[in-house]
Amino acid sequence: MIFIDKEQVYINLKTKYSTDLNAHVYVEDIGQVYCNNDGIKQKVEKIRIYNGKDKEMYDYLSINEITTKILEFINGIDITIIGGPDILLEIKGKEQSNSFYNFLKIALVMVVLFFGAAAAIINFYEDVNMSKSMEKVYFTITGVNKENPLIFTIPLSFGTGLGMFAFFSRIFSFSKRRRQEPGPMELELYLYDKDIEENILNDLKKNENS
């Protein structure tokens, strides 16, 4: 019986890799390669495992894809993967800096924070009485005492709903990649489902052992 010793190749994979548009991904980009044979190590590192995309998006690479790609180019090696089962790929374009646009964003945030802090302070001293707070703000600006000033309460109602919708949604982003990201509510639901599954699994194990 003849035994043929294969060269051992170890790859320590990353969990996430970000790349530019139309940029190919090679083994050396997504992990560290370890091998006693330097020639094989360099060949493995230079293997292309993902073709570049021309649009912003999220994608992933599985261990099976990586192993298959490597074995297509190099024979006689034994591959051991260290790390998670999948790698998250983030394909994104280079963001162009626009000074005027950045200034507008900063100014908008400053205005929102200023009026938000002012409203919080007024509500605090009015014992969280929104109606009295709006009346006080209206009197401060116009000098007229008026109960339930609709010019403030109506925009406040719409603004509260719009703000919550914008916070829990990604549709306002110009980037398709950003719109693929889960919102805060989706993340909470995912964690909630995961906790339920773990709890049920633990209960089943306890009942089986008892």
Prediction pTM value: 0.58
- In tens, the pLDDT along 131-164 reads 777 787 788 788 788 877 778 778 877 877 787 7
Q: Which of 43, 32, 34 is nearest to 73 (CA)?
A: 43
Q: Please give the pLDDT value at position 155.
A: 80
Which residues of the chain fall below pLDDT 50? 1-4
Q: Please give the pLDDT value at position 1.
A: 36
- CATH fourth-level superfamily of 7-91: eubacterium ventriosum atcc domain (2.60.480.10)
Q: Which amino acid belongs to residue 57?
A: M
Phi and psi dihedrals of 16, rounded to 5?
A: -150, 145
- In tens, the pLDDT along 107-137 reads 988 988 888 787 777 777 767 677 777 787 7
First-residue to last-residue Cα distance in the chain: 50
CA dihedral 125, 129, 135, 136 (to 10 degrees): 0
Q: Please give the pLDDT value at position 172.
A: 59
**Residue 65, number of CB atoms within 10 A of its CB:** 14
Q: Please give the pLDDT value at position 4.
A: 46
The full set of domain ranges for the chain reads 7-91, 99-193
